[in-house]
Every structure is written in structure tokens, then in C-alpha cells.
Amino acid sequence: MRSKEIEMYMPSYLYDSKNLLVCVLDADGQILHGGELFKSFFSLPKFPLFTSFYSLTQDSQKSYFEDIMLEVMGSPYEIFSAVQYYPRGNVQWEFSLLKNNDGDFLGIMGIGTVRKESDSNILATTENIRPEKDIHFQLDQNWEIIHLNDAAEAFFGGNRHGLLNQKVWQVFPNSKIYEYALEFKKVKEDKRERIFEDFIPELGRWYQIHIDPRLEHLDIFFKDTSEVQLLENELSRLGYSLDAVLNGSEEAMILLSHDLRVLRFNPKAVEQIAIFLDKEIRVGDKFLQNLLPGIEQKILGQLESIISGHEICFEKEIGAIGNPNNRLFQHRIFPVRDNTGKLIGFVYANRDVHENRDLVVKLSKDYHNLREIAYQQFLELRSPLSSILGLLELLDKEQLDKENQKYLSYIRILADELDQIIRKNSQKINDSLH
């Protein structure tokens, strides 16, 4: 019964995918469903029921993936990323809950892509971290390094095997390690994640430092945020601060890195994401996973142009198709360049133009009404005037005495003047409406 529900509620492009590793696990990590590529990659039998997903991981990763599954169960609306090392290649996983229309739990859905680059023991990370780029190392209870990725090896400036089992303060390339040590100890004692930013002069880079407590160790990530600092420096050079620009804007704004990940955002963007997507936007999120409903096709259709550094601007309603409460927004994505012209990021901004559209509609109606009035006025005034002018032509002036002929000539002059006034007014109205 469960397998039929999984097939029913999993998107068909995932269920039948030949390019992605797709699986569904129960709360204990047992495999309920595995796609063809998943079974082929892990050399599993055709029906791998009751096989534990954890049996496919290295012993050093097992406890981490168990923690990940607990986090998924506790956060039903979030997606958690992880990197699994496997002899045939690293697997970039994204785990989330699979539910039916009633919200009942069907399983934990995993979607994986195979990465060919080798790394002896890349572990999983939070969704704000890019494990293939960001510095990642682990410390055991004795503050010794028990794992590090390629980026961390370059960061420490040593050989991997020479760095393993070394105390972190003996190899860290900055005297601030003793300040960081206080943060490490606090996280270890409180068992709560800690995130802060700092500048490392020796490297000339800014980093956002994530310290994540685990059962047996600390996961530590150094995320390079120099791009954000560069943008702030450029704005400062122009006399602005990044926060002032974002928070002072009438538009919802999201600052993006060159690979379209979220760097900063303002309160209006937070509010929109919460209202229209029922989620919380976070630094490090993929922008394409935070597209407002209704603009996905437009953005994806112009993605190549955006990445190439071209500005795009369009108007589109936000919300479900056909919803009468939808409002019209103007959407813009424009590139940000440094003073040398190098592309360093993007800004997505939108603003509500629904009232502007209503005003245009009203003006359009007024325009048509005014034209109708002008036309009716011209016809209604011209018609009796034409009759008067016609009757004046029919009068036999020879039968009138001189006094009446004089009055008749006055009437003729006044009627002609009135005719010219009507024509001029009608022409002025027509000219103003074009």
C-alpha cells in the first residue's frame, strides 16, 4: 500500500528519473523505494525493501545521516542538503518529507546527483553551505582534526595526512583561533549552532563561520562572504551602506551572488516569501528555489541572459493562476559590477504596481467616456445649429423690411461664430485624447 502511495504522490519526473538518484526512506532509514539509477549506483537488488540506507554510508558518516533524518522529521517544510562519499563518486543529496494530500507522512524523500570529484570523506552540511566550495573540518572531543575537505586542506596550507589528528590551534592560519576556541567551547557546552563573521587578514578574506554541534564531534564551516563585503565596499564608495539601501527601499530586494545564491535580503522580501511560499528565506539559499509563484517560467526562460549580465524587467501577477486577489508586480533582475566592470552579483527587486494598473484602467475608461461626450456634444450641438443655418438660407430676405434684414444678418453672423466655436472645441478635445 505504501509503495502505491509513494508512486502516486511523488512527481513522475522523479519517480521515473534516469538522471537522478531517487529514494524514499521510512523514519528508521529503511529503503521503501529506490529509483533505477539509485539501485544501479549502489548495486542493489531489484526490490531493495528493508535495506538500510545507513548500510550504504561509511561508518564515519552513519551518525551524521541519522542526525540529518531526525532534522528532516522535525522540520517538515525544509530541505536538508548533504554530501555522501562513495567509492564510485560523491553524492550530493537533498532530503525532505514526502506527504500525501492529507499531510500524512509517507517517507523521507532523497534526491541525489553524482559528483565525480574525489574527496576522502566529505560530510553533510546545512542548506546554507556549499560543501564543494566551502571550508569544512571536524573536531573531536580533544579538539583534534578528524576530517577536512580539499578547501580546508588549502586553507590550513598543509598536507591532509599531516593535518589529521592535529589540534586545531596548532595548524590554524590566524592568531584569532584562540578567540574562535571560546566559540567552539560554548557551542560544545550549549549544544546549539553558532554563526558569526570575521575577517582573516592573512588571507584577505571575510568568512561566515558556522559551528554545528554533533553527538561525537563539531562540524565547522568557513563560508567565504567576501563577495558580500565587496558589494558593501562598492556601495560605501558611492556613499551608501548595503543595509541602508536594502532596508530603505520601497521594493522587495534580494542580493544574489554570481551563482544566484542568496547573500542578503530586506524585510519586504522576507514578508513576500513567507506569504506566497510559506517558508523562510535564508542566506545561502538557491534563488531559483525561492521564486515567487507566477514568475518561474519567465525567470527560467531568461536565465542564460541573466547570468550573462543582462538586465531584465517585466510585469507579472504573483499568486495562483486565476486567483482574483492576485496583484500585479514589476520584477527586475540587474547585474552588479565592481569599478573594473567585473560581474560580482545580481539584485532581484519587485514592487507592487497593481494600483498603477488600476489607475491606467480608470484613465482608459475616462478617455473613452470623454471621447464619447465630445462626439455626442459635437453631434447634438451641430444638428440644431445646422438646421438654424439651413432655415436662414430659406428665408426670403426681399419680403423683410430693412430693420428685420439687419437682425437676420446678425443672427447669421452669430450662428457662424457658434459653428466655429463648436468645431474648435471638438478639435481641441480630439487632439488632447491622442
Residue 357 belongs to some domain of the structure: no
- Is 385 exposed, middle or buried, given 0-12, 13-18 or 19+ CB atoms closer than 10 A? middle
Question: What share of the chain in percent tops pLDDT 70?
Answer: 75
Whether residue 206 is found in the same domain as residue 315: no
Sheet with strand 145-148: strands edge to edge: 145-148, 135-139, 218-224, 205-213, 194-200
**Residue 411, in any domain of the structure:** yes
Q: Are residues 78 and 138 in the same domain?
A: no
Residues 201, 241, single domain; the answer is no
Q: pLDDT band at residue 320, thresholds of 50, 70 and 90?
A: low
Domain boundary among 124, 157, 173: 124
Asked if 8 and 40 sit in the same domain, the reply is yes
**Structure confidence by residue, pLDDT tens digits, 1-23:** 578 888 888 877 788 777 789 99
DSSP alpha helix (H) spans, 17-58: 36-41
Quick: pLDDT tens for 346-385.
899 998 887 656 565 666 666 666 666 666 666 666 666 6
Q: For residues 2 and 120, state if they share a domain.
A: yes
**pLDDT tens by residue, 22-45:** 999 999 999 999 888 898 888 887
End residue of a domain, out of 172, 200, 224:
224
Statement to judge: residues 232 and 220 lie in one domain = no
Are 311 and 243 in the same domain?
yes
CATH number at residue 303: 3.30.450.20
Residue 142 resides in a domain:
yes
Residue 125, pLDDT > 50, answer no
Q: Quick check: is 65 in a domain?
A: yes
C-alpha torsion 152→158→162→163, nearest 10: -30
CB atoms within 10 A of CB 210: 22
Q: How many domains is the chain partitioned into structurally?
A: 4
Q: What is the DSSP letter of 52?
A: B
Cα dist from 282 to 126, 198, 332, 349, 405, whole Å:
11, 19, 20, 17, 92
Task: Determine the pLDDT at residue 133.
Answer: 72
**Does residue 70 share a domain with residue 48?**
yes
Q: What is the DSSP letter of 13?
A: H
What is the C-alpha to C-alpha distance for residues 280 and 271, in angstroms, rounded to an integer?
A: 9
**68 inside domain:** yes
Name 111's bridge partners: 22, 94
In a domain, 333, yes or no: yes
What is the pLDDT averaged over residues 114-132?
Answer: 46
* Domain membership flag for residue 358: no
Q: Are 34 and 20 in contact (CB under 8 A)?
A: no
Give the highest mean pLDDT range of 74-83, 119-128, 154-163, 313-322.
154-163
Q: Same domain for 378 and 348?
A: no
Domain interval for residue 331 = 228-352
For 297-304, which contacts have Cβ atoms below 8 Å and span 24 or more sequence positions?
298/331, 299/333
What is the sign, positive or negative, of the torsion defined by CA atoms of 315, 321, 322, 327? negative
Residue type, 166: Q
Separation CA 300–CA 297 (nearest Å): 5
Q: How far apart are CA 63 and CA 57, in angstroms?
A: 10
| Same-domain check for residues 12 and 79 | yes
pLDDT at 110 (0 to 100): 93
Whether residue 235 is found in the same domain as residue 332? yes
pTM > 0.75:
no
In a domain, 359, yes or no: no
Nearest to 136 by CA among 126, 154, 148: 148
Same domain for 113 and 57, yes or no, is yes
Domain termination site, one of 63, 92, 124: 124
